Amino acid sequence: MESFDVIIVGAGHAGIEASLVCARKGLKTLVLTQNLSRTGFMSCNPSIGGLAKGHIVRELDVLGGEMAKAADETCVQFKRLNAGKGPAVRGSRTQNDKNLYTQYMSRTLSEQKNLTLKEAEVKSLIIKNHQCVGVRVEDGSEVFSKAVIITAGTFMNGVMYIGEVKEKGGRIGDKASVGLSDQISEYGFCVKRLKTGTPPRLYRDSIDWSKTQVQKGDDVFYPFSFTSSPKLKLPQIDCFLTKTNEKTHEIIAKNLKKSPIYGGIIDGVGPRYCPSIEDKIVRFSEKNEHQTFLEPEGIDSESIYLQGISTSLPENIQYEFLHTIAGLENVKMIRPGYAVEYDFIEPTQIWHTLETRQIKYLYFAGQVNGSSGYEEAAAQGFVAGVNAAHKILEKKEFILGREEAYIGVLIDDLVTKGTKEPYRMFTSRAEHRLMLREDNTVDRLSERGYEQGVLPSQVYKKMKQYLEQKEKFLTFFEKNKIYPNGETQKKLANLKSAPLSKPLSLKELLRRSEIHTSDISLFCEDIQIPEDIKDPLEIEIKYEGYIKRQKQLIEQTQKMEEMKLPQDIDYGFICGLSVEEKEKLNEVKPRTIGQAQRISGVNPSAIQSLLIYLKGHLNR
Amino acid sequence: MKWKPSNDQDTICAISTPPGVGGISVIRLDGPNAFTVVKKISFKLNNKIGLPETEVPGTGLLGTGLPEKPESHRAYFTRLKSVLDDKILDEVIVTYFAFGKSYTGNTCVEISCHGNPLVCAEIIKNLIHLGCRMAERGEFTYRAFMNNKIDLLQAESVLSLIHSQSKKSLEISLRQLKGELSQAISKIEEGLTLVLAHIEAGIDFSEEDIKVNDENMLKEKMKNTHQIIKEMLANYKKGRIIKEGLLVTFLGEPNVGKSSLLNAMLGESRAIVTDIAGTTRDTIEGQIQLKGQLINLIDSAGIYDSSDEIEKEGIQRSLISAQKSDVVFFVIDVLAEKTDFSILNKVFDFYPSKDCSPKDDPPKDKKILFVLNKIDQDINGEKTKKWQKILKKEGYEDHPSCHVHSLTKKGSLPLVKFLEENFSNYLTVESSSVINQSRHFELLTKADLACERVLEQLQDDYELELIALDIYEALVNVKEILGKKFDDEVMDRVFSDFCIGK
């Protein structure tokens, strides 16, 4: 059989980014998937982005990824979340036409040069001398390559549950991938189970829409991609809101035992931020209603996604409780909600490049690393792809810092802390939150995108122009002053801003909370500020002081961060560490105290021991 | 080379009682061989030296060598014999603490021997000969800390215990050791975590159907937490005085009798005085204890317009000393015609403004005591009356003054009485949350400022992520006191408090 540079196992959100980046770097790339019609399939909610996730999508775009373009192209509703809150925590979210999204991604992959798509189930890896050199597929044939990236999502030993019905598979309609994770575990990897769930899909026509409240999208569309037009391609649609009630809860509570999770059949850990309706009712029994959104899965789709009601109760019970909800009295399900339990590898076993520590040229990305979400998966796919390609091409590693990007936070968290539940990104996970904003993504990452080489040079050029223009106005604001004369004071009074006592630079003026970029032209008549930099300029100026303080604070907490730990420490000999801590530390071999602190299971007292140990033994 | 700590496995020893002759001294051993080493030098009372078998008073037991398997926390009466020359060293009590049950967590032995430095030295010599090594300063505490027997706060308390100079200071350190301070700080941590969790939930889960905007509750919680911090800060001064002692400086022109007053006061309690000699041109210190509270007395160089470089330096030091002091005794010779009150201004000009002095500083009128000295030589008391009038004229009538002479012990008693009356609140320990480490003070001060900003911002409807920054700052500093690191607890809190999930 033919041989390739890189083989990507899986064509979900991680697999797509990984394969595109490899192919675009000129490597001969093969994508193997069990079902080509489900390329880039949205297995759960039909939307891209959200708080912190929207940041990731924009970051990917500036680095040269594909997700942002697909999301813009197939957007059927746009919302800027937290629009009323500060700029650092605003997040864009599109709702997408699920089928069109899949079509867009299939088209992009098939049109991509150097990229071959094939339907096949990978049964095992070919490993020689701790190096992955190819894969074996179900018919027993072998395909050789220089590197392999596993992006198998929830498919490794996936089991689906609907009540007492248990079936092998990673998603309804698709079979599980059996054998791969068993082989990996034989090679000494720690493989664990996680659980996730998805709500029922309902027939559009079986819903009484008059009993629901309409939820509209925003009027203004801010595309994810730097290159997308701010004009929407598709007609926009509405979502609808309804609520559960005490009757609903009663039925669920009565049937808890029939839920595989409460019946003790599933032992994988589910995400706390995305509990099943069973969970919500048990843990927050004082609430007598829960919101649920009815989200169409596409413009012409007959399928409605019932957000917030993920469940694995038996089908008849699902019907019973759905019928108690306003608008759903006569609802028919296309498919009931279900839970999936699957294998993931403890991500502390991979490097920041997403290559495994045990086996060279083997990469893992996405849910197989314990993450959750399309965006988190795509980001890892991209980083794994770049690094696999760079390793083959003998170029330098591509690692984003925690202060550079949410993608950096995501990967650093996973590979140093590991995870107990499906890992989702939150803004609060980023200690440099004020710095990592959607509005300055280009500022933060365009150089990184360009230097690693998949960002097209004409796009990079445009980004540079944008940044130069921003810089030009920043300097202008710094250098030009307004003076305390009658006219100025009057203008300020009109803007409900305090009068001047001494000359003030435009920059200082803009720092006042009530003054906005558009007000600057009142004081400086011949100035023409392009629309697209107005907000970014203002945010940058207003946030400058806070960002500085955040940095200082991080420095204070990270005094220890830079404290180096010798690489040849045998932690087994250090007093004051638990057996678990000794094992973990010996396994991870942290480079710094800071990294040691982030290892889960390593307690503060252990860090104190390390500090005292360093002090007591290194300086002696 | 493999980098491994052999030191932690050593058996260490040290004399744990203060140096010098005392009733008994305690030698402590720590490490795997602690007991076996001591056993090697112990012997039965009725051994070949032929001494009569004696009963250990009150126990009915005969003194023997140490048993093979000692009981933890039990004291054994035995004799020690030198392995170097077979001489009897001493009759001692050996207390054994089993592995895991001692202060450090290791096997530990305490030998209570007679308090003679020579005896102690001989025993130590034997222990070292048998493979022990001398403990380094604070090493027992280090081991306790390493074995998770004490937390960082407790470790620091022990160190402060080792260095504490008075009984009151000891009490506070003991309280900290019991974890009372840890508990008080944990309460602050808990409050801040709750508020931050609510704010973060409002940011990351704003789309969820959760109520996080109960502003009044958050404000209330924040205010309460801030209040605890403020109280602890206010107690710092107290904690500092308790630990380091009240600082009292004698200030005045040359030859007004400062030194003799100091000597008179020290004479009252000579047994516990430690004099540190200085030159006559420098400050001279002495310490007394008053109701268990340490008082540092500082005699300073007389202040006048000198042209001598060395004297000028001495005078400068006097001013600085007075400025740092909790109390200034401004000494006036009643026989003198006049005195230079501008000295006082020089001292208090060091305070740039009222706001900069610590909030809980004693008020100025308590800070300065006018000491009219040499009243024994003012036969009819007229000169003293004259000086009282002068004080009134100079605007110091609200300040306390007293009349003393330094010829007898009694002459200086009014000074002691003044300290007792005005600083009695520092002489009692009522609050358990007294902090006495400057590190804690610094960190809490940062937390205090951050909390103040949070309260303002909550009032003004600030951007949530900016408020979060300040709460985070407060939390980071509070956690540093406990030696903890910011982790996932805020998110854990969010998930446990709110029903989140789409």
Q: What is the pLDDT of residue A317?
A: 96
CB contact under 8 A, B464 and A612: no
pLDDT at A261: 75
Substitution target in A47, A269, A273, A434 with the highest count of B β-carbons within 10 Å is: A273
Residue of B nearest to A293 (CA): B502
Contact B401, B372 (CB under 8 A): yes
**For residues A334 and A201, is the Cβ–Cβ distance under 8 A?**
yes
3-class state of residue B109 by DSSP: strand
**Closest CA in chain A for residue B198:** A428
Whether A618 and B148 have beta carbons less than 8 Å apart is answered as no
Task: Report CA-CA distances (Å) from B413 to B295, B326, B368.
Answer: 15, 19, 17
B102-147 pLDDT per residue, tens? 888 899 999 999 877 778 888 888 888 888 887 765 678 777 877 7
Q: What is the pLDDT of residue B359?
A: 37
Q: How far is the C-alpha of A70 from the C-alpha of A100, rounded, in Å?
A: 9
Asked whether A12 and A41 are in contact (CB, 8 A), the reply is: yes
Instruction: Write b or e for each residue in A437-472: b if 16 or more Cβ atoms lie within 10 A of its Cβ, otherwise e.
Output: bbbbbbbbbbbbbbebbbbeeebbeebeebbeebee
Using CA atoms, how far residue B101 sits from A123, A437, B439, in Å, is 55, 53, 31
Chain B residues within 8 A of A308 when measuring between CB atoms: 501-502
Say which of B2, B7, B146 has its CB closest to residue A576: B146
Is residue B250 within 8 angstroms of chain A, CB to CB?
Answer: no
pLDDT at B49 > cutoff 60: no
Strand partners, A166: A161
Q: Terminus-to-terminus CA distance in chain B, angstroms?
A: 54
Q: Is the pLDDT of residue B429 over 50?
A: no
Chain B closest CA to A258's CA: distance in Å?
21
Helix (H) or strand (E) holding A75: strand A75-81
A217 vs B241: which has the higher pLDDT:
A217
Nearest neighbour of A85 by CB, restricted to B147, B203, B469: B203
CB contact under 8 A, B204 and A608: no
- How far off is chain B from A562, nearest CA to CA, in Å? 15
Q: Any chain A CB within 8 A of the CB of B1?
A: yes
Closest Cα in chain B, distance from residue A155 (Å) = 23
B 73-132 → A contacts, CB under 8 A: none
Question: Residue A612 and residue B204: Cβ atoms within 8 Å?
Answer: no
Quote the crossing angle between the two packed helices B464-482 and B152-163, to the nearest 10°: 50
Sign of dihedral through CA atoms A421, A425, A428, A432?
positive
For residues A190 and A47, the answer to whether their CB atoms sit within 8 Å is no
Residue B207: per-residue pLDDT:
78
Whole-number Å distance between alpha carbons of A296 and A72: 17
Per-residue DSSP letter, B3: B
Q: Which residues of A touch B464 (CB under 8 A)?
A: 85-86, 89
Inter-chain CB proximity B204 and A86 less than 8 Å = no
Does residue B209 sit at the A interface (CB-CB below 8 Å)?
yes
- Token digits of residue A270: 């589910």
- What local confidence, expressed as pLDDT, does residue A386 receive? 98
- Cβ A439 vs Cβ A539: under 8 Å: yes
Euclidean distance between CA atoms A401 and A411, whole angstroms: 9
Quick check: A573 and B4 CB within 8 A?
Answer: yes
Of B5, B146, B463, the CB nearest to A86: B463
Locate the DSSP E strands across B268-353: 284-290, 293-299, 327-333
Give the chain B residue whose CA is nearest to the CA of A550: B469
Highest averaged pLDDT of the listed ranges A94-108, A580-594, B58-72, B80-94: A94-108
Does the pLDDT value for residue B39 go beyond 80? yes
Find chain A residues with C-beta within 8 A of B2's C-beta: 568, 570
**Type of residue found at A128:** K
Dist CA B498 CA A273 (whole Å): 10
Cβ neighbours around B201 below 10 Å, total:
24
| φ/ψ (deg, to 5) at A350 | -120, 155
pLDDT at B363 over 50: no
Residues of chain A with Cβ-Cβ distance to B151 below 8 Å are 605, 608
Q: How far is CA A55 from CA A161, A313, A375, A401, A537, in A?
A: 33, 35, 9, 15, 18
Q: Is the separation of the CB atoms in B284 and B299 below 8 Å?
A: yes
CB pairs under 8 A between A and B: 129
- CB pair distance less than 8 Å for A273 and B490: no
Tens of pLDDT, residues B388-421: 888 888 877 777 788 887 667 677 788 888 887 7
Instruction: Give the C-alpha distances (Å, rounded to integers) separating A166 from A37, A121, A156, A193, A339.
Output: 25, 22, 16, 16, 10
Task: Please answer whether residues B421 and B362 qualify as being in contact, where contact means their C-beta atoms are separated by less than 8 angstroms.
Answer: no
- Stretch among A364-368, A376-380, B64-68, B449-453 having the lowest mean pLDDT: B64-68
- pLDDT at residue number B38: 92
- What is the reported pLDDT for B432? 47
* Inter-residue contact B20 to B118 (CB < 8 Å): no
Residues 458-487 of B with CB under 8 A from A: 463-466, 468-469, 472-473, 476, 482-486
Give the SS3 label for residue B44: coil
* Closest-CA residue of chain A to B141: A612
Note whether A553 contacts B469, CB cutoff 8 Å: yes
Query: Does the pLDDT of residue B22 top 80, yes or no?
Result: no
- Choose among A429, A546, A570: nearest Cβ to B469: A546
pTM exceeding the 0.80 threshold for the entire prediction: no
Query: B interface mutation test: which of A51, A89, A511, A570 has the most B CBs within 10 A?
Result: A89
Average pLDDT in chain B: 74
Closest Cα to residue B271, out of B284, B287, B294?
A: B287
Q: Does B148 touch chain A (CB under 8 A)?
A: yes
Residue B333 to residues A567, B254, B336, B361, B384, Cα–Cα distance (Å): 70, 10, 5, 28, 9
Task: Flag if A273 and B500 touch (Cβ within 8 Å).
Answer: yes
Asked if the C-beta of B502 comes within 8 angstroms of chain A's C-beta atoms, the answer is yes
Q: What residues contact B382, with CB distance under 8 A and at least 6 apart?
A: none
- Asked if B501 and A275 come within 8 Å (Cβ–Cβ), the reply is yes
Per-residue pLDDT at A267:
73
> In this structure, what is the dihedral angle of CA atoms B94, B99, B104, B105, given to the nearest 10 degrees?
-160
CB-based contact A86 B152, cutoff 8 Å? no
**With contacts defined as CB-CB under 8 Å, which chain A residues touch B491?**
426, 428-429
Sequence-separated (6 or more) residues with CB below 8 Å from residue B371: B250, B252, B261, B329, B330, B331, B332, B401, B402, B404, B415
- B356 in contact with A at a CB cutoff of 8 Å? no
Nearest to A532 by CA among A105, A140, A229: A229
Element holding A241 (H helix, E strand):
strand A239-243
Sequence-ordered list of residues with C-beta below 8 angstroms from that of B478, at least 6 positions apart, any chain? B185, B188, B189, B192, B443, B444, B447
**Shortest alpha-carbon distance between residue A255 and chain B (Å):** 21
Owner of token pair 């490597």: A27
Sequence-distant (≥ 6) Cβ neighbours of residue A361 within 8 angstroms: A131, A132, A133, A146, A147, A148, A355, A388, A391
CB B199 within 8 A of CB B398: no
The Cα of A15 is separated from the nearest Cα of chain B by a number of Å equal to: 25
Q: What is the model's pLDDT at position B274?
A: 38
Provide the shortest C-alpha distance from residue A101 to chain B (in Å).
Answer: 22
CB-nearest partner of A89 from B4, B152, B203: B203
Query: Where does residue A152 rank: exposed (0-12), middle (13-18), buried (19+ CB within 10 A)?
Result: buried
Looking at residue B500, its pLDDT comes to 63
**Alpha carbon distance A304, A216 (integer Å):** 16
CB-CB under 8 Å, B3 with A51: no
Q: What is the pLDDT of residues A442-481, one digit of tens each?
A: 999 999 999 998 999 999 999 999 999 999 999 999 999 9
Q: Across the interface, which of B146, B148, B209 has its CB nearest the CB of A291?
A: B209
The pLDDT value recorded for residue B355 is 36
| Segments of chain A with pLDDT less than 70 | 1, 557-562, 575-576, 603-605, 608, 612, 615-620
* Contact (CB<8Å) A280/B207: no
Nearest Cβ partner for A82 among B1, B5, B206: B206
If you measure CA to CA, which chain A residue comes closest to B476? Answer: A557
Residues of chain A with C-beta less than 8 angstroms from the C-beta of B205:
273
SS3 B23: coil
> Does the distance separating the beta carbons of B486 and A51 come in below 8 Å?
no
Chain A positions in Cβ-Cβ contact with residue B476 (cut-off 8 Å): 553, 556-557
The amino acid at residue B112 is S
Of B148, B484, B502, the CB nearest to A308: B502
Q: Residue A303 forms beta bridges with which residues?
A: A203
Buried b (16+ CB within 10 A) or exposed e, B253-267: beebbbbbbbbbbbb
Query: With an 8 Å Cβ cutoff, are A616 and B7 in contact?
Result: yes
Amino acid B98 reads A
DSSP-derived secondary structure letter, B146: H
Lowest mean pLDDT of A17-21, B44-48, B480-484, name the range: B44-48
Provide the residue type at B176 as one letter: Q
Q: Which of B1, B145, B464 sits opposite A85 (nearest CB)?
A: B464
Q: Nearest 5°: phi and psi at A583?
A: -60, -50
Q: Where do the H-state alpha helices sit in B147-204?
A: 152-163, 167-177, 180-204
